[in-house]
Chains A and B, each alone.
Chain A
Amino acid sequence: MAVKKKGAPRGKTSSAKTPLLILSSSPHFHSRVSTQRLMGDVLIALIPAVIAATVFYGPRTLLMLAVAIAVCVLSEYLARKVMQRPNTISDLSATVTAVILTLNLPIDMPLWQLALGCVAAIIVVKQIFGGIGQNFVNPAMTARLMLVTSFGSSFTRYSTPDFMIKHGLVDSVRSLSEVDAITSASPLTALKAGPAGVASAPSIKDMIFGLHSTAAIGETCTIAILIGLIWLLARRVIKIHIPLAFVGTVAVLSLLFSGFDFTFMLYQLLSGGLLFAAVFMATDYTTSPLTNKGKIIYGIGLGVITCLIRFWGNLPEGVSFSLILMNIFVPHIDNWTRTPIFGQKEAERLEKEAQG
């Protein structure tokens, strides 16, 4: 790219040290936003949920996180190596998958099962389809479903947070156990009985602060999840469309289902993986639609399928399956919801006027 002038140089500084110049295509400036920064922001947004999980379930949370991150990052590194593709562990997406998957699992999940889930998420769901940006379903959620179907027994032991036992807060849980002593003491199971189940669920206040038993350690504390949401919105990592449409649809359908029982609706929103998934998993870039309209349709779809499973299905929770099902629709939603190009509506109106 260094250009030498024919003949004698003009003998002046600028010609004398004609440098090698970059010939890039415009624009020559960049906002310096990067995948790494966005993923870093997601990790920061997950910190409150990690702290809450550690407080409620004890240090094993951190052990699980460490194992998951190590296995995910190593899987990503090795997969890229074997496929002879550029190394991508520095974009932090594997770390995000590790943290989200862990927070979706129960506290006493055997570590080898956790590791297996991590390998499935990174290698089977993500790398085999081409790595970041190419997977058509959410890696963490797919891995969770794989673990649920393979090691169902690990998920039926809904455990009571250590924190509650230590502080003598287990009464409400005990009473729940009596309602349904065989399977679990999860609020969602209690709600399976319809609005009547509300009576045997923990108080709304306990639900918000996280003083109740859950299947997954990250679902516990509503406040921690909302702090994460605020961070993601403030940093413009995600938009509100998907979480709002998702949670809003569940709220409306719960009201309709229960004959406008407001308490039942609140329990539906605060129970299970709904909020965690709405904030951290449904908003996954790769597996959600591009346009705002598409995001709203996607969120509504998630809400509808979640409610169908929760109200009429055999399973207590429908968030996981709704997410996977809606992931598959994303390319179609993208096609249906393309925004008209600037001036397209005006051009169509002119055409109509010309015809009629």
Chain B
Amino acid sequence: MSDKLPSGILRIVENNHGGVSPEHRKNTAGMKETSLPTPETVKIPMQMHIGAPCEPLVKAGDTVEIGDRIADSEAAVSAPIHASVSGKVKRITEIRNPADGGLVKAVEINADEEQKWRQDIKAPEIHSREDFIKAVRDSGLVGLGGAGFPTHVKLDIKAPAKADLLIANGAECEPYITVDDYCMQHQSDDLLAGIAACLKWIGIERCVIAIEDNKPEAIRALAEKIRSEREKYKAVDVMAMPADYPRGAEKVLIQNVSGRHVPLGKLPADTGCLVLNVTTLMFIGQYLRTGKPLVDKLLTVDGSAVGKAQNVRVPIGTRIGDVMEFCGGFSEQPALIMMGGPMMGLALSSPDYVVLKNNNALLALTEDDFIIDKEQECIRCAKCLDRCPMYLQPVSLMRAVRAGDAEKLQELGVMNCMECGSCAYICSAHIPLVQYIRHGKKILREAGGK
């Protein structure tokens, strides 16, 4: 870790290997939060997290209030789901999962006029680590940075692994997205409370809030808050990092902040680091204060085809077309609509998909705003090697995929690719390297490798 600036902000000086510098386009930074009026209906999918899907606990005709648990699962890796509007369950239906195109069950709720929260909601009482982890599970929380991994599973670090450093991930390195920035500036009380609860109940000594330096307001807001209550937050530091991509990727961030490398085949927890997104931590603080489970999301709606870019709070399960419409509709014909940022986001085939727990942005881009060029022959310029934060060889992986060579894919470590897209972003021959690599993972899995 590097020197401490007088203001109490730590700063990373060294540059890490790899990565790229796409334009930031943080157009919505500094904007006020808006709220979507309650939609007529929501369709809440039973799979909005990594792990086992939930089963509905309600049936058609049931009346629900906001915050009612409408779905859950017995599986260890899963997270319960709550009603995001009050009203009547219209039916249990099926909708497409945008990630793989498969069908998932969904609870469709017709919203009523009043929109009321369930009455018995109160802040949970926490007396032990177990209480804390159960409370996080009850809140329905998943990783809000985009991954959607159930947070209670991540918190429940099993011995002998032990965390000594909590890293609050405020990198937000994807272009456009500013919801973490918003959270750090305007919800810093809940964020710091969430951090304090994790440190206390999980038994972690220190926390570093790592923020890219293109968010000076967030850095200043948090540093000032921590300094004004230094005694209370003496275990917490703010760290500024150069703003490039993919600074916020878990392994990259751990290495940046702590200098530790996650050994191949091990989990980040094995380095003693626990990484949670700032909005995830903020939500923990908010849940401990209010007891209100995860039912809505703040989304950055932006892109050249969007009428009025803004950060809007949206009930989970809202149709994406309805959100777009609230944001002024399409100013121009969009060629690409996606969930998440342009580097790792998911292109959608229609505006009929719904907002998920782990969404943080909806983007609509016009044709001029991005290029899909024809794939050309690789000229071996080796720029992909230089940019890969995992030190993989995307060009060699691509050739092994073309040859269908599972053994070679294993040798080259295809499974270690986190699909950040830096290689394809920089590729002079415009080869869709990430797509090749995803296919390579499939080839290897089918051949029984890992």
Contact = CB atoms under 8 A, between A and B. Distances in A.
A340 B432 CA distance: 24
A166 interface: no
B343 A342 contact: no
Q: Which 6 pairs, one residue from A and one from B, show the smallest C-beta to C-beta distance? A: A27-B421, A3-B350, A347-B264, A346-B263, A25-B435, A347-B263
A19 B425 CA distance: 26
Interface of B: 20, 22, 175, 251, 255, 261-266, 321-322, 324-325, 329-330, 333-338, 342-352, 365, 370-374, 376-383, 385, 389-393, 395-396, 412-413, 416, 419, 421-422, 424-430, 432, 434-435, 438
A27 B434 contact: yes
A9 to B, nearest CB: 10
Most buried by A among B324, B376, B412: B376
Interface string A1-33: 111010000101111011101111111111111
Contact of B345 (A10, A28, A286, A340): A28
Contacts of B392: 341
Interface in A25-44: 25-35, 37-38
Contact of A342 (B322, B372, B390, B395): B390
21 contacts: A12-B321, A12-B325, A13-B329, A18-B351, A21-B349, A24-B372, A25-B347, A27-B342, A28-B347, A28-B370, A31-B22, A32-B371, A33-B428, A35-B428, A88-B377, A93-B379, A132-B377, A285-B379, A290-B393, A343-B265, A344-B264
Contact of A285 (B342, B343, B382): B382
Contacts of B262: 342-343, 346
A340 B391 contact: yes
A38 B329 CA distance: 40
B266 A5 contact: no
Contacts of A339: 385, 391, 393
A26 B343 contact: yes
A350 interface: yes
B247 to A, nearest CB: 15
A338 interface: yes
B336 A26 contact: no
B336 A21 contact: yes
B385 A347 contact: no
Given A1-B349, A3-B349, A19 B382 contact: no
Contacts of A17: 330, 333
A349 B260 CA distance: 13
Nearest to B260: A346
A31 B426 contact: yes
A15 B434 contact: no
B151 to A, nearest CB: 24
Nearest to A287: B380
Contacts of B374: 86
B343 A27 contact: yes
A29 B263 contact: no
Contact of B376 (A26, A35, A134): A35
Contacts of A93: 379
Contacts of B350: 2-3, 5, 18, 21
A17 B425 CA distance: 31
Interface of B, secondary structure class, is loop
A131 interface: yes
A112 to B, nearest CB: 31
Contacts of B324: 14
Contacts of A5: 350, 352
A154 interface: no
A30 B333 contact: no
B381 A30 contact: no
A110 interface: no
Contacts of A162: none
A291 interface: yes
Nearest to A6: B352
Contacts of A26: 342-347, 419, 421, 434
Contacts of A32: 371
A329 to B, nearest CB: 15
B425 A30 contact: yes
Nearest to B411: A338
Nearest to B329: A13
A36 to B, nearest CB: 9
Interface string A318-342: 0000000000000000100011111
B213 to A, nearest CB: 21
Contact of B347 (A12, A14, A21): A21
Contacts of A29: 22, 175, 342-343, 370, 425
A313 interface: no
Nearest to B392: A341
A35 B336 contact: no
B264 A28 contact: no
Nearest to A288: B380
B438 to A, nearest CB: 7
A350 B271 CA distance: 12
